[in-house]
Amino acid sequence: MATTTELERLKREFLEYTEIERGRSLKTVENYDHYLTRFLGFAKVKDPKNITQDLIREFRLWLNRQGTRERSSYSGENTLKKKTQNYYLIALRAFLKYLAKRGEKVISPEVIELAKVGERQIDLITHEELLRLLEVPDTATLQGLRDKAIVETLFSTGLRVSELCSLPRDINLKSDEFSVRGKGEKVRVVFLSDESKDAIKKYLEKRKDMDDALFVNESEEPTRLTSRSVERIIKKLAIKAGISKRVTPHVVRHMFATDLLSNGADLRSVQMLLGHANIATTQIYTHVTDKALRDTHKKFHSRGNNS
């Protein structure tokens, strides 16, 4: 019979398999480790076959009550979000699938159903607010030139903030396109607008450092910007532009997608530009961009249109 140490070893081998053979990012592996460690800490089982459906049900109940107030265990107040709970279940399903592939006697991963979650809400700003955000950087300074280049590039390409931070300084500005390696190490092509190319060119012309990164901080020895730094930059620009909503690099990515769809781009193309593995992820934008539905409502839903 396997011991707890043996189960931990299997977990470690699964994480190595996920990183090396599945090619998942280190962040994904780190998250899987966190979720599975919490499950094993709760389950206290010594053998994979002891991971039963009843045990998983108890774990789901435990997850659902995490953070609740003792005075109201069933109130649902301050519990883990359903989406977060699903992350634990997804990691556990992947682990069970790996164990089954190794010939371990475990329950089928298919018995673990994910919790139903509400439709995802998209954070958006208006087109006018977007224009203010793009124009607010003070391009008389190196910092302003950099910030202008950042927001123009985000809106032109729809890059994730981590992808933006990984861009090299020697990007080819003579071309309208370049390749970027995104989630799951998948490579896709993104495109630069004339405005973003012009902003990047002006920023690089004023740079005096020799760092290889496209976007760097303002220290005496500049280094590559982190995702957190870019988030702070966008937040400051939004405040300066008089935008009261919470604005992040991901909001600019949302605006990139909705702008394309509102102007007639097909969903499959937008999926490829965003680097979404599943088109269902891209479909969250359609309910805010379907001009045809708005036109239909305007044309037929009118008090004065009954003649």
The answer to whether the CB of 272 falls within 8 A of the CB of 171 is no
| Overall average pLDDT of the 20-35 stretch | 88
Same domain, 106 and 252: no
Q: Per residue in 38-73, pLDDT tens? A: 999 998 887 888 899 999 999 999 988 886 443 333
Q: Which residues pair with 187 in a beta bridge?
A: 181
Q: Which residues are catalytic?
A: 160, 183, 250, 253, 276, 285
- The number of domains in the chain is 2
Helix ranges restricted to H, the chain? 4-20, 26-43, 53-64, 82-101, 127-135, 142-157, 161-165, 194-206, 227-240, 249-262, 267-274, 279-282, 291-300
3-state secondary structure of 187: strand
Q: What is the CATH number of the domain that holds 63?
A: 1.10.150
CA angle 209, 215, 221 (to 5 degrees): 35
CA distance 214 to 161: 13
pLDDT at 303 over 70: no
Within a domain: 117:
no
69 located within any domain: yes
What is the mean pLDDT of the segment spanning 254-279? 88
Considering the domain architecture, whether residues 168 and 91 belong to the same structural domain is answered as no
Please tell me the predicted confidence (pLDDT) of residue 296: 65
Same domain for 284 and 250: yes
Identify whether residues 251 and 279 lie together within a single domain: yes
Q: Which domain holds residue 36?
A: 4-111
The strand pair at 177-181 and 187-191 is best described as antiparallel
CA-wise closest residue to 39 among 72, 3, 85, 6: 85
Amino acid code (one letter) for 11? K
State whether 162 and 187 are in the same domain: yes
| CB neighbours of residue 135 within 10 Å | 12
State whether 206 and 267 are in the same domain: yes
Structure confidence by residue, pLDDT tens digits, 135-181: 999 999 999 999 999 999 999 999 999 999 999 999 999 888 999 98
Residue of 189, 205, 200, 215 whose CA lies nearest to 273: 189
